[in-house]
Chain A
């Protein structure tokens, strides 16, 4: 039964993930039919590659540290304080997470870049420094920390800390001895997710890094698309694969530790209005951070998109409607990219829901308990491996996947080179981990004894699943769909390879516009990014309304 459910996701991953990645790595590392593993050593000792590896690692570490420092107070405030507008604000800080990386890059370019907001205001330009990248990463990942850590924090029983206080611990000691140990696994898990996202960062660095800074993923893109140096790209893909594998392994371990029994309570009962100057200052500080770090870049992005040469107006938006205005950047009017993107993203969402939903169902199916004595360590390990496999697309080079699609899905029986389905397939690959991660905790939380109650009342196993599990996870399915939609909409690394020139997606169109010089292109990029941001933000705000009240992983 479980194996049956796993068949579809496994096949999907084999054909559209493993096969392309293996093929492209093979193409890079095979010469005359023999594997050339010596190339790995050669590439990894090149000084320019070492620079890339070093930069990738330290910027990821720095971004993670900075994100934790800035976002942990936010997590506390959202967990423990009640203030007007909290729900809206919680949704607002989540918007960046579902924004396409390209939009994030563009927004920070508008804020910190040449002729940007700060440049005009104070003559300050950061787009050539690493700070632009770090700040963009914080912007992007703030919600990961607030949601993962804050979600757990809000469910920790404050009476635990009170018990420590009564036993003689000071305010800080109580926090350090009671709350921190309970939070540590969540902090570690959030930190690792941020590290993973920043380690494999592509769109942001591509736009803000300029020639000076490049991460592994950007370098893979450069080696593949510009230098056509497949061996180097293959080696770098393997390096990234190994690093991501290690990060995910550690992440899985911390998540398992997080599942150790904590006494959780209803979050509604743990928060209260701030008291005293200290707490009001903390709240003010967090609100200011959100304002400067999250609202300002988005605001500037909108402002720039309206700042047409003849005064504020919708000039750039109008220019999006015609082919000529784009100066032959496109074969079609950029505005058509919106329609394309939405259609692609919808198809990708459907695929991701099917594959991810089946996978999550397989992972949570009740254990067959016939041979409890002998145990099923093999099956258990298989399932765990499957769980980890589903996370891989989050970290494996999207550029590699995209390029791999081009070279493997080009011959019968699977000749999809000219098919529109190629783009949604690639996007769905990135959406699946989000679907699985959103649905797993909810499915796991369904009390097995409810299913037993249904069975005793005469429901067959399938019927029991339909009557008990399905209604309980309906909202989670909607949330998962929303995430998959937003992520598909913003997918850039793989799409940039496989989107055809006459059918660009929004992120690809934005990147192309930014790649051209001229005020009109710049303005159009801002306008398109604004549209993309609005689509993502609206879908997210809709999600927040139906989101089940619990601590998910995203």
Chain B
């Protein structure tokens, strides 16, 4: 469906996109994930034709899109803050793309009603855009983007402005909807939870380049680099040198899975792999702040040597703040990452 061949965009000397190659297959939902400034919005603008690439090509269904203006690309784009037309009502907003494509009046009305039904706002045609809540605007924007049946639907921070509970519900709704319609989707977001819940495939971006691509499970289990690990929220990353079945780190020796590459590396220890015991055994730590996370407690530990550690404890076994504990590591929860240079 969509192919990017070494797409490059320069803002002055800085490259917002640095020779990005990306493929999106039919009916696939791909989510581009990255911190702000990583070039993910620029990526969408290049695909839509809103920003000409300084190098490389965009192909849709194999056809080179160079020189094809925005309005002839037949794509859908849901903007970050929706960009609903304030002077038109809900129905006219949804019908806009249909009108541009010369659909007859009767067909427009039918399709608008059908889409509003689909996004859960039946009969909202005559409502003013300004009177909609954030979640409703979101649904109208989606209906508007879907109405002309775009080859590829692009979503820019689709749920960014909504509150948490609404976001979690909508993500599930969106995924179900796209699966039912067979829509091909390219979304960008900075929220990993959103990306993992929505996507078939996740693409992590950093400084205009792709840092890792894979299924949510792959990316979660085996982050490709210290950057990806930290971006996913894992803070227990240290420089290490693997020798045999253990790595030498600032925390002492940490066991690693069998078959890990030998030599210098960066080592990730997931919080679940940090086991607390009596202070006599293992790495001696002082317990710092404790944060309740529903079914477990995140504990910050200050080791005698090495950087701060984060551990996950069951509610019952959480030590008191200021207590001394001994830490051992679980090999199955550690990941050897390429060394950080």
- Contacts A373-B12, A450-B85 known; A456 to B71 CB distance under 8 Å? yes
Q: Is B34 an interface residue (CB 8 A)?
A: no
**B77 CB contact (under 8 Å) in A450, A453, A459:** A453
Contact B76 A454 (CB under 8 A): no
Q: Is A549 an interface residue (CB 8 A)?
A: no
| Residues from chain B with Cβ under 8 Å of A257 in the complex | none
| Residues from chain B with Cβ under 8 Å of A550 in the complex | none
> Which of B47-55, B108-116, B178-186, B212-220 is found at the contact surface with chain A?
B47-55
Most buried by A among B70, B96, B148: B70
Contact B96 A454 (CB under 8 A): yes
Contact A456 B76 (CB under 8 A): yes
Q: Is A460 an interface residue (CB 8 A)?
A: yes
Tell me the chain A residues, 454-482 only, with Cβ under 8 Å from chain B: 454-461, 463-464, 467-468, 471-472
Contact A455 B50 (CB under 8 A): yes
Contact A373 B10 (CB under 8 A): yes
- Contacts A372-B11, A458-B148, A460-B69 known; A452 to B50 CB distance under 8 Å? yes
CB-nearest residue of chain A to B87: A471
A450 to B76, CA, bound (A): 14
Contact residues on B (Cβ < 8 Å of other chain), bracket: 20 to 34
**A369 CB contact (under 8 Å) in B52, B101, B148:** B52
CB-nearest residue of chain B to A458: B100
A370 to B69, CA, bound (A): 13
Q: Is B83 an interface residue (CB 8 A)?
A: yes
| Residues from chain A with Cβ under 8 Å of B48 in the complex | 452, 456
A454 to B83, CA, bound (A): 9
Interface bits B44-86 vs A (CB < 8 Å: 1, else 0) = 0000101110000000000000000111111111010001011
CB-nearest residue of chain B to A451: B83
Q: Is B97 an interface residue (CB 8 A)?
A: yes
Contact A458 B83 (CB under 8 A): no
| Residues from chain A with Cβ under 8 Å of B100 in the complex | 454, 457-459, 463
**B158 → chain A closest CB, angstroms:** 14
Tell me the chain B residues, 1-21 only, with Cβ under 8 Å from chain A: 10-12
| Residues from chain B with Cβ under 8 Å of A472 in the complex | 86-87
Q: Is A447 an interface residue (CB 8 A)?
A: yes
**A108 → chain B closest CB, angstroms:** 44
Contact A369 B51 (CB under 8 A): yes
A455 to B145, CA, bound (A): 12
**A461 → chain B closest CB, angstroms:** 8
Q: Is B144 an interface residue (CB 8 A)?
A: yes
A457 to B69, CA, bound (A): 12
**A456 CB contact (under 8 Å) in B12, B52, B70, B101:** B70
A468 to B92, CA, bound (A): 12
A454 to B99, CA, bound (A): 11
CB-nearest residue of chain A to B92: A467
**A161 → chain B closest CB, angstroms:** 28
CB-nearest residue of chain B to A460: B71
A452 to B72, CA, bound (A): 13
A471 to B96, CA, bound (A): 14
A207 to B221, CA, bound (A): 87
**B250 → chain A closest CB, angstroms:** 43
| Residues from chain B with Cβ under 8 Å of A452 in the complex | 48, 50, 70, 77, 79, 83
| Residues from chain B with Cβ under 8 Å of A455 in the complex | 50, 69-71
- Contacts A452-B70, A467-B96 known; A457 to B144 CB distance under 8 Å? yes
Q: Is A263 an interface residue (CB 8 A)?
A: no
Contact B71 A370 (CB under 8 A): no
Q: Is A159 an interface residue (CB 8 A)?
A: no
**A47 → chain B closest CB, angstroms:** 59
| Residues from chain B with Cβ under 8 Å of A449 in the complex | 79, 83
A457 to B75, CA, bound (A): 7
Interface bits A372-384 vs B (CB < 8 Å: 1, else 0) = 1100000000000
**B94 → chain A closest CB, angstroms:** 10
**A248 → chain B closest CB, angstroms:** 33
**B83 → chain A closest CB, angstroms:** 4
- Contacts A369-B51, A452-B50 known; A447 to B83 CB distance under 8 Å? yes
A178 to B87, CA, bound (A): 35
CB-nearest residue of chain A to B45: A452
Interface bits A1-40 vs B (CB < 8 Å: 1, else 0) = 0000000000000000000000000000000000000000
| Residues from chain B with Cβ under 8 Å of A463 in the complex | 71, 100
A369 to B46, CA, bound (A): 13
| Residues from chain A with Cβ under 8 Å of B72 in the complex | 458
A369 to B77, CA, bound (A): 20
**A464 → chain B closest CB, angstroms:** 8
**A1 → chain B closest CB, angstroms:** 13
| Residues from chain B with Cβ under 8 Å of A450 in the complex | 83, 85
| Residues from chain B with Cβ under 8 Å of A459 in the complex | 71, 96, 100
**B48 → chain A closest CB, angstroms:** 6
A463 to B72, CA, bound (A): 13
Tell me the chain B residues, 158-185 only, with Cβ under 8 Å from chain A: none
**B42 → chain A closest CB, angstroms:** 12
Contact B97 A457 (CB under 8 A): yes
| Residues from chain B with Cβ under 8 Å of A467 in the complex | 85, 96
**B97 CB contact (under 8 Å) in A369, A447, A458, A460:** A458
| Residues from chain B with Cβ under 8 Å of A457 in the complex | 71, 76, 96-97, 100, 144-145, 148
| Residues from chain B with Cβ under 8 Å of A453 in the complex | 77, 79, 83, 85
Interface bits A431-452 vs B (CB < 8 Å: 1, else 0) = 0000000000000000101101
CB-nearest residue of chain B to A455: B70
Most buried by B among A372, A456, A458, A471: A456
| Residues from chain A with Cβ under 8 Å of B79 in the complex | 449, 452-453
**B276 → chain A closest CB, angstroms:** 44
**B161 → chain A closest CB, angstroms:** 14
- Contacts A369-B52, A463-B100 known; A456 to B77 CB distance under 8 Å? yes
- Contacts A370-B52, A373-B12, A456-B48 known; A468 to B69 CB distance under 8 Å? no
**B7 → chain A closest CB, angstroms:** 16
Interface bits B253-272 vs A (CB < 8 Å: 1, else 0) = 00000000000000000000
Contact A468 B85 (CB under 8 A): yes
A452 to B49, CA, bound (A): 10
| Residues from chain A with Cβ under 8 Å of B52 in the complex | 369-370
Q: Can you show 24 pairs from A to B with CB atoms below 8 A apart?
A: A370-B52, A373-B12, A449-B83, A452-B70, A452-B79, A452-B83, A453-B77, A453-B79, A454-B85, A455-B69, A455-B71, A456-B50, A456-B70, A456-B76, A457-B76, A457-B144, A458-B72, A458-B97, A459-B71, A461-B69, A461-B71, A463-B100, A471-B88, A472-B86
Taking A463-B100, A467-B96 as given, write out 4 further A-B residue pairs in contact, using a Cβ cutoff of 8 Å, ordered by the A residue number.
A373-B10, A453-B77, A453-B83, A454-B100
Query: Top 9 nearest A-B pairs by Cβ distance?
Result: A458-B100, A457-B97, A455-B70, A453-B83, A456-B77, A471-B87, A459-B100, A458-B71, A455-B71
